[in-house]
Every structure is written in C-alpha cells, then in structure tokens.
Amino acid sequence: MIERNLKSKSARSILFEEFNDIDIYVEDSAVGYKKIYKELLNKAFENKLKIEHIIPIGDREQVINECKNNQDKKNRKRVYIVDGDLYLLSINQPNPINGLYVLPRYCIENYLVSKNSLIKVLYEDEPELEKNEIENRVDFQEWLGMNEKPLLSLFILYSLCKKYCPEIQTVAYKVNKLCSDATGTVCPIKTEKRIVELKGHLENKIGKIKSDKEIRIIEKKLEKEEDKFIKYISGKDYLLPLLFARIKNKVRSTSDPLNLKLRLAIHSEFNDLKTLPDFVIE
C-alpha cells in the first residue's frame, strides 16, 4: 500500500509537465508550503525555469529511494530535495546520489530566518514604527546571541543521540518546554537540564570517553563556521517558533505564522541554495 501510494504521488509530475520546466520532488510538507517552496526555488534557479508545482512524495527515505530508482528516467529535468536534518552535524555523510540535493541547512524553514527579511515583513505590518525602531525592538542579534550557544550544544547532542540512541526523543521535544517566558529565548537552566539528561543517555550507550570525544569533534567542526546557528538548528521546530514568539512580544503584527512564513520566503535573501541547479538530472 505504501509503495503504491508513493508511485501515485511520484506519477503526479505528469499532470504538471505543462506548468513546470523541471520536476522537483520534496518531502511531504504542511498546507501552504507549496508556495513557500516555489518562492525559494524560483530564486535558486534565478527564475530561468518555470516552476509552478512542487511534488511532495513522502518522508526523507522515500524521496531518496525514489531518486535511486529513477536514475534512468529520460526527457525531463528533475531534482530530488531532502532536508539536511541532524545529518548535517554528522562527520560521516552519506554517499552522494545523482539528482539528490541535500539542503545545506537543517530544513527549508531555515531559509526564512533572516534579519533583513524579517524587518521588511514587520515594517509592512506595523502601522506606526519605522524600520529602525522595529529593528531595535526585535534586536535580532540579541535574540541570536541568547539562543545560539545553548541550542547548538543541544543539537550536537540531538545528532549523536539520533546516531547512538534513536529511541530518545530529539527535535520532536517541543522548544516551548525549554522556555520560561514569551520572549523567544530559551531558558539557560531548562536547556542545560535537557543537555545533562541527553548526555546521560549517550554515556550509558557509548561511555563517557567516547561521548566526550564525539561531542568535541563536532564542536571543532563548527568553530570556524559562519551562520552555524541558522544552518544547524531546526527552523521549523525551534528557530521560527522562538522568532515568532519574539515578534509577538516586541511589535504589533496581526499576521498568522503561515502568512509570515510565506512573506519571509518572498523577501528571503540567501546564497547557499544557488548550488541547487548543479544537481539537476537533465
């Protein structure tokens, strides 16, 4: 049944051939995400290809398998896109597959987390405040600075738990459980408690020496990276919920979260999706 459903979803590309110059297959996503993907991917292709429909076909493994099973398909440009997920923090990355594009950020929502885009969107919402006033109130850099260190430490452990203790809940652990107020920042005490708890699980599985060594390897990998906070922390489950809480606390915005996401996609600015065309199967 699952295989038949997957084939049915994949075959939908035929219905969109007259609207698309390229077939783009992605993981299943929530209502409203078609337009978000369309905005971001049209920018990635610099509007050189007509992209009207995105084709969600299942979870990460289903998209990867669909890509593997259709290597010999001809006559249509296509690309298969999966989230970077916790695998981005892993030292041992999977072997590349022709036509498969692994997002260089945790998920597509990570491309919506941008100071400039945020200020533009909030300026459209706010009836009185000027851009500089909005920028000062939201204080994106302060928000980032207060969340970066604890959440990076947490996600390093999430990635190792996914590898060694897959039975332990990781990103599905709600970010609001780590907050003490509605300011959009995690509570240091609650977050540290969660970190200690995960370290305990990891040490029970692989031992303290190996656990400390693996944590340090990832920390060293991240030392010189720029924008690591926006790259490695889940935009969907952590960054955007925190950022939207911050917005609600600091300025007047009547937009619902889905509308905010779409408008952030419209105003988005990024460079690392520019490599996507290189992965297209011709």
Confidence (pTM):
0.91
Give, rounded to a whole angstrom, the gap between the first and last alpha carbons of the chain: 31
pLDDT at position 17 is 59
Cα 34 to Cα 228: distance, rounded to the nearest angstrom: 26
Q: Is the pLDDT of residue 252 over 90?
A: no
pLDDT of residue 228: 95
Whole-number Å distance between alpha carbons of 152 and 134: 27
Q: How far apart are CA 129 and CA 278, in angstroms?
A: 42
Q: Please list, residue by residue across 217-230, b when 16 or more beta carbons sit within 10 angstroms of its beta carbon and e when fewer do.
A: ebeeeeeeeeebbb
Give the whole-angstrom CA distance, residue 24 versus residue 78: 6
Where do the domains of the chain lie? 2-110+272-279, 114-251
Tens digit of each residue's pLDDT (9 = 90 or more) over 71-87: 887 778 999 999 999 99
Residue 8: pLDDT over 70:
no
Residue 10: pLDDT over 60: no
pLDDT at 9 over 90: no
